[in-house]
Amino acid sequence: DVKVTQSSRYLVKRTGEKVFLECVQDMDHENMFWYRQDPGLGLRLIYFSYDVKMKEKGDIPEGYSVSREKKERFSLILESASTNQTSMYLCASSPLGDQRHEQYFGPGTRLTVT
Amino acid sequence: AQSVAQPEDQVNVAEGNPLTVKCTYSVSGNPYLFWYVQYPNRGLQFLLKYITGDNLVKGSYGFEAEFNKSQTSFHLKKPSALVSDSALYFCAVRDINTGGFKTIFGAGTRLFVKA
């Protein structure tokens, strides 16, 4: 059974803290994605990566950075958390080169910044 | 630019009745279209997709969707709703002419099925 796991289901952080969200997939997928989900806005792409050490900005990269040191792991970093980054964060993966393929999602991390 | 519209924030239906969740899209080229479902406090799960061929595609849990190129729509349907179908549904589009990495998601439609 394919799996994408995220390090925390719920996280509460203070404004200004550095926050790390971890995502691991066991499907040997090249593509990995970070989205944030907000009511009425759907999913918005923050960053994606199609290979180790490669990253591309999505639609809303400001205030975020990412790291992909190993194929199976994709980390999202909030350098200095702010209250407007309170959201649900979803990680996803898919195989490279097959645009027809659906994405596999992790369970999500609900982050609250106070 | 790619876009996806789900015109209804919420759909209410009685158990046993047919359900439809609407989706329209806009892409410059040919689309790949997807439906995902999200149950409370869970990630998204894939339901079905249209890639090419038959306009009616069947997916998980008895759901199906019809691709209509002239109306640029991809509505999700089920002949007989179950209470357990209550969830948040997302339509998504990928423009195959722009490299295919990027998937655009709609805002989501919440489905309530009443017993």
Average pLDDT estimate for A81-99 = 91
Convert the pLDDT of each residue in B69-82 to its tens digit: 999 999 999 999 99
pLDDT of residue B28: 81
Looking at residue A64, its pLDDT comes to: 98
User: So what's the pLDDT on residue B59?
Assistant: 94
- Interface A-B: count of C-beta contacts within 8 A: 54
Q: Which is more confident, B49 or B99?
A: B49
pLDDT given for residue B99 in this prediction? 59
> What DSSP character marks residue A114?
-
Chain B residues within 8 angstroms (CB to CB) of chain A:
4, 9, 32, 34, 36, 41-46, 49, 51, 90, 94, 96, 100-103, 105-108
Give per-residue pLDDT as tens, A30-73. 999 999 999 989 999 999 998 898 999 999 999 999 999 999 99
CA dist list (Å): A30 to A5, A93, B53, B109, B114: 16, 8, 27, 30, 41
3-state class (DSSP) for residue A66: strand
Higher pLDDT, B73 or A99: B73
Neighboring chain B residues of A42 at a CB cutoff of 8 Å:
4, 90, 105-108
Residue A97 pLDDT > 80: no
Query: Is the model's pLDDT at B62 over the cut of 70?
Result: yes
Greatest pairwise CA separation for chain B in angstroms: 44
Using DSSP, state whether A15 is helix, strand or coil: coil
How many angstroms separate the CA atoms of B79 and B73, rounded? 19
Task: Give yes or no for residue A74 having a pLDDT over 70.
Answer: yes
Identify the pLDDT of residue B77. 98
Q: Do the strands B10-14 and B109-114 form a parallel or antiparallel pair, or are they unpaired?
A: parallel
Contact of A29 with A96, CB cutoff 8 Å: yes
**A35 neighbourhood in chain B, CB within 8 Å:** 105
Which position has the higher pLDDT, A96 or A15? A15
Handedness of CA A72, B96, B108, A84 (dihedral sign): positive
Q: What is the mean pLDDT of chain A?
A: 93
The answer on pLDDT for B95 being more than 90 is no
